Structure 1
Amino acid sequence: MMKRNKQETELPDNYRQFIAQLDTASENLRARQDSLGRTLQAAGMLFKQNELGLKLWEERRTKLEKLSSNQDLSAEKAYSLRELHEVAIRMESMFQLRTQHIREKQFMVASSFDEIEKSLVDLDRSKLKLHSSRMLSREHENLNRVVAELSGTAQFAAPSSSDPGLRDDLNEARRAIVLAEALLELKGK
């Protein structure tokens, strides 16, 4: 009879389900963050390559401008240099657009990465709070059980006490427990 009553008075551990949900959400976000991390690395490499290409085409355009400014060029060489200069301008513009586009993508991915990081911190914080609340709940259950045993509930007959203030102290302890639990419930919401 004691075992059955003890099991009936214990509350089910519903913390487990919420902690499992937090763990699942964390795993999903970490997988997504890993993917974004790889994307950032790839974008970083592409940015460096395109930035190098941009610098090389800028240098080529500058050299062609210097060569074109030479007054002693034949018409055929001047025409060839102008054509090469136009190609250099188009290539420089193309690499400029590419580096700008990659930089924008990097910023978007980095923002998502940071947003996930903040969510992971929040999830870890919530999990820690749930673990703490779970431990406090168990402690309160144990304390309630001990107080019930000491106060002489119907399940546990307590010997009559020669200390008349004991009953008052036990009642005060029960009130304090009830108030503490009420506070925890309010804080939990």
Structure 2
Amino acid sequence: MPQQSTAPDPFDTLLTLEDTLYTTAYTHGTRDGAHAGRIEGRVFGLEKGFEKYSSMGVLHGRALVWNARVSSPTSPSNSSGFQELESERRSLPTLKPNGRLEKNIHILTHLTDPLTFSTENSEEAVADFDDRLKRAGAKAKIIEKTIGKTTSTALSPERKGDRKGMKLAGEGKKDENIEDFTGSRFLS
């Protein structure tokens, strides 16, 4: 009768090698992915936050310019140096007096004032900021329509003039897209 040995089988480690390597690689990958995900998420959050605050700053600057164009001219100062600076400075054309326009500019100025909104990273503060940004953008469009001028940012490259976002066939470079069949002889 053969004796059973209590020594471990030398092939056990080879037979479970794939499972062992898979498990350790999965564990390391999960840990490294979580770490990289936090870093990438932070960078993405900072980029999006900067874009939002930059947009709010642009709207606030436009509101201040419109407010300066609507407000009545100030009384001249007694200082001759101030008068010389005023004469050298370009003046903005004033806007026609309009109660609704003044009200919209006033609201836009208060919506975009940096001292009136929170910069905390909480759900409530972010939702409030996003709501203000959306409302401020709508007010800016209303003011632009009232004044009768649009800015270069209002028309995207696809929306030129009266086209309403339609891209006409034949515009742009040929071979721009693999699905660009405008010059195909098979479609004629």
User: TM-score band (shorter)?
Assistant: 0.3 to 0.5
Q: Which has the higher contact order (CA 8 A, sep 6+)?
A: 1
- Computing the radius of gyration over CA atoms, which structure comes out larger, 1 or 2? 1
**What TM-score, normalized to structure 1?**
0.36
**What is the TM-score when the length of structure 2 is the normalising length?**
0.36
